[in-house]
Amino acid sequence: MGRPRDAGVERVALDAAARVLAEHGHQALTVDAVAARTGIAKTTLYRRWPTRAHLLAAVAEAALAPPTVPRTDDLAADVAAALRALSQALTGASRTGVLADLVAAATHHTELRPTLHRLGEVRRATTRDRLAGAVADGTLPSSADLDMVLDQLLGPLYLHALVTGDELTDHYVGRLVDSVLAGAGFAAKGRAAPGPTGTGSPRDASTTTHPGTPVAPRRSA
């Protein structure tokens, strides 16, 4: 019973928060700022999000409308597309900032970890399905450990975004996908399966498109 929550509050608050984020960075994304901008009382905000961190999480989650990645019959291309979408979500000063803040906050507020996890998970689930499909139709060997594959795909993205700060270029993502999929036993389409010794090295030529991105030498870090 009682007066029902005004659903508009969430919407307005998150909108404003997103705008603050875009305009002034994640440093400026304070509860006070959102309250001031929206006219929503701080009390009301704190009723939804008991902590600045929770608000951050909500903002991050809201910003992540899972884009429908089209499914073609090119496994590597599909996976790369999904990963590039995630890369974009992780890239950009403010976005990375929010993510980093969230990562830091999640060490106390463990209840935020699911959310944090879910951020990558949305794509991960789709990708996992795609990979499972590949296993089903024989494109990938049935022995493939999909979770391990996903870790190897996602891990490097977070590593670059959070730790090294390197750019996540489309080219890098392409190479990563090729490398990991090949490791998982993927025979690139229109190609003979590489020999067991791996000398045939399926990695020198990427099976996916890297639209116009030059091969930048990675920082040795």
Give 201's Cβ-side CA count (13 Å radius).
Answer: 5
Nearest approach in angstroms of CB 12 to a copy of itself is 20
110 binds DNA (CB under 7 A): no
CB neighbours of 62 closer than 8 A, spacing ≥ 6? 14, 18
In the region spanning residues 23 to 82, those forming contacts with DNA, defined by CB under 7 A, are 28, 30-33, 39-44, 46-48, 50-53
Nearest approach in angstroms of CB 81 to DNA is 36
Does the CA dihedral 182-186-187-189 come out positive or negative?
negative
Strands in 39-154 per DSSP E: none
Residue pair 90/161 in contact by the 8 Å Cβ criterion:
yes
| Dihedral of the alpha carbons of 122, 126, 128, 130, in degrees to the nearest 10 | -170
Q: What is the x/- site pattern for a copy of itself, positions 158-177, by CB under 8 A?
A: xxx-xxxx---------xx-
| Dihedral of the alpha carbons of 10, 14, 17, 21, in degrees to the nearest 10 | 160
100 binds DNA (CB under 7 A): no
Q: What is the x/- site pattern for a copy of itself, positions 141-160, by CB under 8 A?
A: xxxxx-xx--xx-xxxxxxx
Q: Which residues bind a copy of itself (CB under 8 A)?
A: 25-27, 93, 96-97, 100-101, 103-104, 106-108, 110, 113-114, 116-118, 120-121, 124, 128, 141-145, 147-148, 151-152, 154-160, 162-165, 175-176, 179-180, 182-187, 192-204, 218, 220-221
